[in-house]
Amino acid sequence: MSDIVFIRGLRLETRIGIHPWEQRSTRPIILDLQLSADARRAAASDRIEDALDYEAVARRLRELVIQGRYALVETLAERCAQVLLDEFGVRWLRLELNKPGAVGEGTDVGVIIERGQRVD
């Protein structure tokens, strides 16, 4: 199965950073996600129950991200990945977490992780 459901540019507020001043207020992070999913099954039935619901994914990640406090982008990326694997049954994912402006205006920094087994 090589189908992918994607979410690009998911902007979420969180407290993140290694410096005490970064923990005093929220800031935006941006998630880009690729999630393996069986699009053929969803297309055959045309039912959301047979699809990986990107709306539900976005809602769950928003809840997770806003509630937490994190030092590292790696930690937050890993938490998000675990939720997708455990709660949504995603077998493979690629997650890019961007912390825009962290090393100067207009600069994108962050982490890209892949988890699970890609079945082709």
For residue 113, count other CB atoms closer than 10 A to its CB.
15
Helices (H), 2-119: 39-45, 54-67, 73-87
Binding mask 10-49 for ligand LV4SOB2L (x = CB under 6 A): -------xxx--x---------------------------
CA atoms within 13 A on the CB side of 73: 18
**Cβ proximity to ligand LV4SOB2L, 10 vs 77, nearer residue:** 77
Supply the minimum distance, in Å, between the C-beta of residue 46 and ligand LV4SOB2L: 42
> How big is the chain by its Cα radius of gyration, in Å?
15
Structure tokens at 29: 């992070």
- Binding-residue total with ligand LV4SOB2L (CB under 6 A): 9
**Cβ proximity to ligand LV4SOB2L, 82 vs 107, nearer residue:** 107
Structure tokens at 68: 């937490």
Q: Which of 15, 42, 99, 110 is catalytic?
A: 99
Task: For residue 99, indicate whether it is catalytic.
Answer: yes
Q: What's the DSSP call for residue 99? A: -
**Cβ proximity to ligand LV4SOB2L, 18 vs 66, nearer residue:** 18
